């Protein structure tokens, strides 16, 4: 079974630009979560999607957005990039079948997209 | 999200030594997970815990779900150089996102 796939692995942007990151979950998983990882803050939760609906949202500004498609693939977008947005963006999928419901809820991570903002 | 306090922040040990790290929360969790992250990689799930008091092993790794449901610990026995990495605890309340501790960086010298 293929794992979580994230693209691109690395990218460099300049302040003010926008970026879109993509995530393909493990086959059969319908829940996708996004995390931002920085050395100082650790893993910070961005949002979680299940069946194309956002189920949970972290404490990030509106510049950070996401969506999930009918095939469970997900994208996240960051607009008007700032230097502080430089981070490793991790996507994780799980077999949660509904919010707080069935499934183990264990998250399986991709290798991440390393974003550098200059 | 719920605050998770993970300690120690870092450990520097010799090969063969045992390691212990723990995580405490201000909230009660239904699930505790332990992950390891190698440089340039995403976190990899090591152990999952679902019931208070549960003790689970995965090879040389043992983790326990605290009976108060507000803490968990991870032990690594007879450490080896490939145990090097950052270990994260994570906890979840039903219906909420998984929250992570800030990690324990483990260095093992031969």
The residues pairing with A66 across neighbouring beta strands, listed in sequence order, are A76
**Smallest Cα distance from B77 to chain A, Å:** 24
User: Measured between CB atoms, which of B1, B41, B88 is closest to A58?
Assistant: B1
Span B62-74, average pLDDT? 96
- pLDDT of residue B1 exceeding 60, the answer is no
Span A8-20, average pLDDT? 98
To 5 degrees, how large is the angle CA A46–CA A48–CA A49? 140
**Smallest Cα distance from A7 to chain B, Å:** 13
- pLDDT of residue A20 exceeding 80, the answer is yes
Q: How confident is the model at residue A103 (pLDDT cuts 50, 70, 90)?
A: low
- pLDDT of residue A68 exceeding 90, the answer is yes
Chain B contact set for A100 (CB, 8 A): 94-96
More confident residue, A95 or A14: A14
Interface touch B45/A107, C-beta < 8 Å: yes
Interface touch A109/B43, C-beta < 8 Å: yes
User: What is the rounded CA–CA span in Å between residue B71 and residue B65?
Assistant: 7
Say what percent of chain A tops pLDDT 70. 92
Q: Tens of pLDDT along A85-95?
A: 999 999 999 98
- pLDDT of residue A102 exceeding 70, the answer is no
Interface touch A45/B99, C-beta < 8 Å: yes
Of A68-77, B1-10, B19-28, B83-92, the poorest mean pLDDT is in: B1-10
- Phi, psi of B17, rounded to the nearest 5 degrees: -75, 155
C-beta separation of B27 from B93 below 8 A: yes
Q: How confident is the model at residue A39 (pLDDT cuts 50, 70, 90)?
A: confident
- pLDDT of residue A16 exceeding 80, the answer is yes
User: Measured between CB atoms, which of A100, A104, A109 is closest to B42?
Assistant: A109
User: Measured between CB atoms, which of B31, B33, B42 is closest to A90?
Assistant: B42
Nearest to B34 by CA among B17, B19, B13: B19
Interface touch B1/A59, C-beta < 8 Å: yes
Q: Tens of pLDDT along A24-36?
A: 999 999 999 999 9
Average pLDDT, chain A: 92
Q: How confident is the model at residue B70 (pLDDT cuts 50, 70, 90)?
A: very high
**Smallest Cα distance from A45 to chain B, Å:** 7
- pLDDT of residue B97 exceeding 90, the answer is no
Q: How confident is the model at residue B93 (pLDDT cuts 50, 70, 90)?
A: confident
Average pLDDT, chain B: 94
- Phi, psi of B12, rounded to the nearest 5 degrees: -125, 110
| B1 touching chain A per CB within 8 A | yes
Q: DSSP per residue over B50-107, as a string?
A: -STT-EEEETTEEEEE-TTSSEEEEEE-S--GGG-EEEEEEEE-TTS--EE---EEEE
User: Measured between CB atoms, which of B48, B97, B102 is closest to A56?
Assistant: B97
pLDDT of residue A115: 98
C-beta separation of A18 from A80 below 8 A: yes
Span B30-47, average pLDDT? 94
């Amino acid at each position: 079974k293929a794992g979580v796939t994230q693209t691109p692995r690395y990218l460099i942007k300049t302040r003010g630009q926008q970026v879109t990151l993509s995530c393909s979950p493990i086959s059969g998983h319908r829940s996708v979560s996004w995390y931002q990882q920085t050395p100082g803050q650790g893993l910070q939760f961005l949002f979680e999607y299940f069946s194309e609906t956002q189920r949970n949202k972290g404490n990030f500004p509106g510049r950070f957005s996401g969506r999930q498609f009918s095939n469970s693939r997900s994208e996240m977008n960051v607009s008007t990039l700032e230097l502080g947005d430089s981070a490793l963006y991790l996507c994780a999928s799980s077999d949660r079948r509904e919010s707080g419901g069935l499934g183990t809820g264990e998250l399986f991570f991709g290798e991440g997209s390393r974003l550098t903002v200059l | 999200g719920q605050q998770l306090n993970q300690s120690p922040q870092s450990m520097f040990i010799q090969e063969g030594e045992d390691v212990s790290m723990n995580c405490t929360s201000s909230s009660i969790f239904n699930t505790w997970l332990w992950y390891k992250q190698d440089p340039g990689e995403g976190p990899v799930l090591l152990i999952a815990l679902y019931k208070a008091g549960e003790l689970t092993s995965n090879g040389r790794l043992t983790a326990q779900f605290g009976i108060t449901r507000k803490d968990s610990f991870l032990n690594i026995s007879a450490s080896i150089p490939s145990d090097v990495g950052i270990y994260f605890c994570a906890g979840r309340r039903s219906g909420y996102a998984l929250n992570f501790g800030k990690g324990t960086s483990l260095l093992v010298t031969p």
